[in-house]
Structure 1
Amino acid sequence: MKELLPRNNTKRKIIHLDMDAFYASVEMRDNPALAKKALIVGQDPRKANGHGVVATANYVARQYGVHSAMPTMKALRLVPKDKIAFVRPNFEKYRAVSAQIHELMYELTDVVESVALDEAYLDVTKNKLGVYSAVTLATRLQEKIFKKTGLTSSFGVSYNKFLAKMGSEFAKPFGRTIILPEEAEDFLAQQPIEAFPGIGKKTQEQLHSMGIFTGADLQNLDVKFLIERFKRMGYFIAQHAQGIDLRPVNSTRQRKSIGTERTFEPNIFDENIALTTLRKYSENLSKKLKEKNFLAQTLVIKVRNNNFETVTKRSKLTKPTNDAIEIFQTAKELFKSVDNFLTQGIRLLGLSTTDLQTNQYEEISLDLFTTE
């Protein structure tokens, strides 16, 4: 029942660029002696009472089975003591390098959708260089990034975001994968369902229980069955199995939000520390909003605990504002709804403002009683 699926669009040219072990690569670039070690970006559990989570690991560490979000204590058990090295994350440095990489992306096109500091989609169907070949553009970008930052990246090129993402993951590190329209279904048929972006572990387990292990198995399933079994997610799985993904690359060039967040090692267990952090965030956001002449209408808090569970809560402000006190008061109320995360330890705390609008007037102070 493929007639239930939307008509495919194979005319676009999409690049998915993904930096290779980004945080670890930046650290190895700045300290080449770390390259021979199993490098883990995260708190050394021997110095943090056994606490800590792996932010990322280099490819040497991955050979021992270390991966992102793993407790650092487990990583310590997997790697020989003389081979392992820990480096605390330096997100200010990573953001600065990410900004350099994004500058190079915008030399090709303004249609750039940033997914993370180290990952982005680019729609180069129409591009600033007038180059027809997306592969040529992606290769130039990969080479420029290496020349400017000393870091390697991998890319996937195809006619939609889903396939481009699969391509960038297919041949890491320093990989280049092109999936043409006429090759897409055969390529997908050969992939394990674990390689399909968006199919999480629980869905994988359910599919395995039904004898579904590969893209070919998915392609042979009735679309109606997938929809009935997995609802909306099943419809997207059916589309992806046939190489269909109509989502646009959403340009993030226009500022839609202003925010700040930080990862804490050791984690936060004290409410006063959390609120003090939110007060500083509020002052920082207020300053940035005023500098850009913005008023915010919505506030969003983001919290992640030591088990890597993440929750976001948002609240509409009573009126658009850029006042630090008003922002903090709303932030405090939002935090009350997630303060149970303190018992597990807050690993990440973030605050952002969205629904921005331009301030149409300037606040000035007038002394009505001054006379000449």
Structure 2
Amino acid sequence: MQLEVDLAGQRIVVVGAEQASRRVLARYRAAGADVERVSGAAALHPGALAGARLVVLVESAHGGGFAPPAADVPAVAAGSGPAATDRTVVAGDLRERCRDAGVLVVREEAAAVGPGHVTLIGGGPGALGLLTLDAAAALREADVVLYDRLAPTEDLAVLAPAAELIDVGKLPGHHRVPQSGINDLLVRYAREGRHVVRLKGGDPFVFGRGSEELAACLEARVPCRVVPGVSSAISVPAAAGIPVTHRGVSHLFTVVSGHAPLSEEEHLHLAGLGGTIVVLMGVSTLPQLVAGLGRAGMRPGMPVAVVERGYSASQRTTAGTLATIVTAAGAARCQSPAVLVIGEVVRVGLELQGGATHLARLTESLAS
């Protein structure tokens, strides 16, 4: 049987040690409840349950009492309850008092108390369905989540119901928390015995600085696990129907960061490789990129697409050629986040969706 109760504004009393109760506390607070934690027999003091809608007993995994050691349970003042501080006795007496007062009592298992650790998670391009099963499992067990703006954040309170959520996302030209600060937070929270999840968009090791965070954890001797994610370099073109490889058209693709302009040598190498070029974070440097590729010998008619906000309700594709894409992107006011795709696979993708004629018309009109 499953019951759904609106706990917003209701007083909830959680009985257990702070560390063992941390996930229970976070979950009920996330539901909007007015939550108070007390330790053991303190719940038997007069007035401790006044106005409570629900009492949650946080018990050890093997049952039979509260999760913390008996030392955590304070002695009960004379006349306010049984003199014994045995956890089982206290729990039994507390249930009886709640029954007499008409207060619902539930039991929940304590959070594991032990060494903290970090999980670096790739959240994919932001669509919840592209989060991996391992990533979802890690979020369910998280005590703290440090997340970026491009990660799947809309349902984060549901995905990580017991976690403290901290936004450390970077905006173009503005870093709310510098990378060194993020590294310090990962280590600090883990040393407090917490499971810390670092949630990033895409894959943590594809322009995500995940390797720097892993290095910081290893240097501090904090256990760290990496859960790969679906990279936007592949998934966002796919969302627009553009394959990064296609038999007889392209048998390789190169992923490039467009955060800063490339050198002439890099343009030359890219143009000479052939295949498909995928550029992440490249809207602001698009003019320098196409100019550099043109100087390196790439033909003006090479198809180019700008895919904005892949997998969102406002996803949009702007197509053109190397000679026309800057004008087309400017007219469409393309903005980040966006993925650029350069290569004949763009034509393949448009043909699959009946858009090749649009590309031809756009090329002709802007070339005239």
**TM, length-normalised to structure 2:** 0.23
Normalized per residue, the structure richer in helix is 1
Answer 1 or 2: higher relative contact order, Cα 8 Å, separation at least 6: 1
